[in-house]
Amino acid sequence: MKKIGVYTSGGDAPGMNAAIRAVVRTAITSGIEIIGIIEGYTGMMSGEMEPLQLSSVANCLQRGGTILKTGRAPDFVKPEIRAQAAAKVKEAGIEGLVAIGGDGSFRGAHALWEEHRIPVVGVPGTIDNDIFGTDSTIGYDTAVNTALDALDRIRDTAASHNRLFIVEVMGRDSGFIAVDVGVAGGAEEVFIPENLVSIDRAIQHIQRGLARGKTSSILVAAEGQSPGRAYDLADQIRRKSGFEAKVCVLGHIQRGGSPTARDRILASKLGFAAVRALQAGQTDVMVGEVGGKLVTVPLLDCITKKKHVPNDLIELAQLLSH
């Protein structure tokens, strides 16, 4: 393999730059040319690509976002559009691709292999941690720490005013961030898509806390299908119990910021592993880390199987809220 391409796609995640850096430096030191494809599938379709050097990735490790830009290209679901993009990749002499993104990006990569026989290796980069085949995704640890920092600050003001707060974190289909933040931040209740708790139970928890002199209550809610779900929850709680809840929607601040050491290290390992996998002739796989070991998992599994929030963690969040 003489030349490979790398791109970031879908939602950005802190640590993507560390992954790009590892891909670039592993490739170049192995004698492989490396091309950066700009803005994910958008740049692949238009042929916006640029050769990357060792110096192209200097001073990016600590930066959030992605130096290659990312984007959403809804047209990429059309086979004829993918054929155009595949032609651009082949024209550029690219013999393999590293796709850094979430399951949507992996669907596109899987199709490029299936339909056009372009070797592809995926690197899981998404703050949601909802990718099957890896214990953690790049960006997740940073997002949890950012949300936790916000929750700690809210706890200060909640305790000073004897207030009830609902903090909404990201996680459309999965409650990984919410449960981690709930356990680490001592939330009284956690609302996640996987385990819908009733409003009545949340109210009981708040009352129980008040009865034994708690000065603040914080509920954590995953955003659900659209941001702002916490306002609905606050409304329901007010109507049923009279408790007035303040709402704080953390939103996009959870995406930005400097990646944690954990995310930088994971990204560095996975970027390295992705290039090694392509060199070894592997394709249509994702590189991940399970139990501290680097693994490769078929992309098809990553896009068809679901990773669930561990039940014992959900139970722990509930038990410790007593």
Q: Is 139 in the site for ligand ADP (CB under 6 A)?
A: no
Q: Is 36 in the site for ligand ADP (CB under 6 A)?
A: no
Considering just the CA atoms, what is the radius of gyration of the chain in Å? Answer: 21
Binding residues for ligand ADP restricted to 39-58, rule: CB under 6 A: 41
Among the listed ranges 50-58, 97-105, 132-140, 158-166, the one in contact with ligand ADP (CB under 6 A) is 97-105
Distance (Å, rounded) from C-alpha 288 to C-alpha 293? 8
The encoded tokens of residue 20 equal 């790009």
Q: Choose the catalytic residue: 12, 103, 128, 263.
A: 128
Q: Is 307 in the site for ligand ADP (CB under 6 A)?
A: no
Q: Is 137 in the site for ligand ADP (CB under 6 A)?
A: no
Q: Is 126 in the site for ligand ADP (CB under 6 A)?
A: yes
Binding mask 257-286 for ligand ADP (x = CB under 6 A): ------------------------------
Measured N-to-C along each axis, helices 79-91 and 103-116 cross at an angle, to the nearest 10 degrees, of 70
Q: Which is nearer to ligand ADP, 164 or 303 (CB)?
A: 303
What are residue 129's phi and psi, to 5 degrees?
60, 20
Q: Which is nearer to ligand ADP, 72 or 116 (CB)?
A: 72
The encoded tokens of residue 154 equal 């809210």
Of 136, 137, 141, 70, nearest to 108 (Cα)?
Answer: 70
Beta-ladder partners of 293: 290
The answer to whether 312 is a known catalytic residue is no
Q: Select from 63, 107, 208, 308 the one that contacts ligand ADP (CB under 6 A).
A: 107
Size of the site for ligand ADP (CB under 6 A): 18
Q: Is 103 in the site for ligand ADP (CB under 6 A)?
A: yes
Cβ-based burial of 173 (10 A; exposed 0-12, middle 13-18, buried ≥19) = middle
Q: How much helix, strand and coil, in percent to the nearest 5, is found in the chain?
A: 45, 20, 35
Q: Which is nearer to ligand ADP, 74 or 292 (CB)?
A: 74
Q: Chain-centre distance of CA 278, in angstroms?
A: 23
Q: Select from 4, 6, 7, 9 the one that contacts ligand ADP (CB under 6 A).
A: 9
Q: Is 15 in the site for ligand ADP (CB under 6 A)?
A: no
Q: Is 246 in the site for ligand ADP (CB under 6 A)?
A: no
Binding residues for ligand ADP restricted to 148-167, rule: CB under 6 A: none
HEC string of 166-215 equals: EEEECCCCCCHHHHHHHHHHCCCEEEECCECCCHHHHHHHHHHHHHCCCC
Q: Is 171 in the site for ligand ADP (CB under 6 A)?
A: no
Q: Which is nearer to ligand ADP, 99 or 220 (CB)?
A: 99
Among the listed ranges 103-111, 188-196, 223-231, 241-249, the one in contact with ligand ADP (CB under 6 A) is 103-111
Give the count of alpha carbons within 13 A of 166, CB side only. 26
Least distance in Å: CB of 19 to ligand ADP? 14
Distance (Å, rounded) from C-alpha 22 to C-alpha 275? 9
Least distance in Å: CB of 85 to ligand ADP? 10
| Catalytic residue set | 128
Using CB under 6 A, list all residues that contact ligand ADP.
Answer: 9-11, 41, 72-74, 76-77, 101-105, 107-108, 111, 126
